[in-house]
Structure 1
């Protein structure tokens, strides 16, 4: 997909994830909205995956370490055909596969995740396996910024650099908000770029809601041979919905009927504008 197509797809995915959260009356809304652009760039432009063959040996691997923000991922996997779109209506319902964290009973999910701090270590192991087996796949791991307070993240970061895993890409959804407030109030992280650099990673800091910047950064990988890459994706929590942006309460706030209506209206306006721009070219 080209950049404008990716932007339009992200707007649609945001509409879908809000709809399933509203229907289920549960979900992590703010973080799913902030990570939508990242996941859209990965799944529709960057990663080599095959919905018709989810276990293809040379597929790129994606690990959602910040597994609580799964709604955007469910909507993308359904849109790509990993499972029927109709199944999205069961999200968080009794007996569903589509629970509130990634579940590897669902095609396209590599590992159950959600206990923060585990995803990068899993990704390091997968990247080592690819190197030892001589396989070309890459491993992408999406982490939250609040997750950086977990010590296991830094153990995995050390290992990734030690084993020179240039097929490993860490991504931090740096929206600066977590469940109980700002990340700097809860557990100060800055200078976060410098910390990852000191741990031996090639750090690329970008606007994580800028689709062109995301694509440029991902397509440049590996930017440094023999080094894992860390994409510091500076995002806005609640991105795309004006009254949810930069609001900590939207971490797991479920939109009511009126909020859903307003949010879908805003996103549809964005979507129609993008489509009109595309038609005019």
Structure 2
């Protein structure tokens, strides 16, 4: 089975798609009155780059056995993935209006049995990399050359199951597996500041930890980038392809900003989730170069 050629899209078009994707995220969540904002926005440039510049996929044949696989391990950011899948042509953009409704194919977490283009159900944090390692192992055993990509959040890295997968992926020489870490430096909850203070510290969950060194010591190829720089993302993907055959899995440590692209959501844990008001939607549309008509439902 031959693989579909990945699309190649210029930087200006990627920027346009990312702006549209961010608008769909904030507008869809406002209409549904449910969903997440900060994580989908921080990951948007990476998701757009994957689906429009790297993944070998065919929206017209989403179950093609030769396709590359993608797992959104941080499944609560599903609306970000759905927005990109819609822009890529897996289903109509208009279907985003059904997000999180009963009977919709677009539930609050990805469901591989419902949604075209979703390769693994997710939402229980920490499980995606293990699933991806299993897919990569299967590809090697079957003698196929599809590549498996897994996107994780930095808060999700606190799950022990992630590190079991990190350890075993190198032992099985899964050089057809790439983890993309969305390092936006904020999580909804964190370590308590002190025993007498239960406000929680929502600062960078990996502050003071050399993740590059950690993954290197586990035997992974490590690429550190600005996760909002399309040229840097493209170069990272090129390096992933170059490292096939090394016997090592690859991790892309992508430094991002939570809530990127909309001024009132950037860099604040309070917009991990949230419902934009009509006034905020109008402001977001103006910043993203989108048209907003009327009020949120």
> What 5-or-longer segments of structure 1 have no aligned partner?
270-281
1:88 aligns with 2:107: no
Structure 1 equivalent of residue 216 of structure 2: 197
How far the C-alpha of 1:84 sits from its partner, in A, is 2.3
Shift of 1:139: 0.2
Deviations 1:142-201 (A, max 9, x none): 000000100000000011111111110001000000002566565757121211111111
2:130 matches 1:130: no
Q: Choose from 41, 47, 54 the match for 1:46.
A: 54
Q: In the alignment, what sits opposite 1:107?
A: 116
Which residue in the other structure is 2:5 paired with?
A: none
TM-score by length of 2: 0.87
Gaps of 5+ in 2: 1-8, 191-200, 291-297
Are the counterparts in 1 of residues 185 and 206 from structure 2 also a CA contact under 8 Å? no
Match of 1:139 among 144, 148, 157: 148
Q: CA RMSD in A?
A: 1.5
What residue number does 1:265 align with? 286
More moved, 195-204 vs 34-43 = 195-204
User: 1:217 — aligned with what?
Assistant: 236
Once the two structures are superposed, the pairs formed by residues 162-177 of structure 1 within 5 Å of their partners are 162-177=171-186
**In the alignment, is the contact (CA less than 8 A) between 2:186 and 2:204 conserved in 1?**
no
Matched with 2:86 is 78
For 1:58, the equivalent position in structure 2 comes to 66
Q: Which contiguous aligned blocks of 4+ residues in structure 1 show a shift greater than 4 angstroms?
A: 181-189
3-state SS of the aligned residue for 2:76? coil
Are residues 207 and 258 of structure 1, via their aligned partners in 2, closer, same or farther at CA, if it must alter by over 3 Å?
same
Higher helix share: 1
2:18 maps to 10
Instruction: Provide the aligned length of Structure 1 versus Structure 2.
Output: 269
Q: Which of the residues 243, 246, 262 maps onto 2:267?
A: 246
- In 2: Cα distance, 1:186 partner to 1:232 partner: 14
1: CA distance, partners of 2:168 / 2:72: 19
Identify the residue that residue 279 of structure 1 maps to in structure 2.
none
Match of 2:193 in 1: none
Structure 1 CA distance, aligned partners of 2:288 and 2:163?
37
Q: 1:150 to 1:249 in 2, by over 3 A?
A: same
> Could you tell me whether the CA contact under 8 Å between 1:208 and 1:233 is conserved in 2?
yes
Residue by residue over 1:233-274, the C-alpha shift from the partner in whole angstroms, topping out at 9 and shown as x without a partner, is 0000000011211111000122111111101110118xxxxx
Q: Residues of 2 paired with 1:85 and 1:184: CA distance?
A: 35
SS of the residue corresponding to residue 28 of structure 2 reads helix
> Which deviates the most, 107-116 or 94-103?
94-103
- TM-score, length-scaled by structure 1: 0.92
Choose which of 247, 255, 258 in structure 2 pairs with 1:226. 247
Distance 2:12 2:203 in 1: 34
CA distance in 1, matches of 2:64, 2:138: 15
Instruction: Render the CA deviation track for 1:99-135: whole Å, top value 9, x for unaligned.
Output: 1111111110011101000000000000011111111
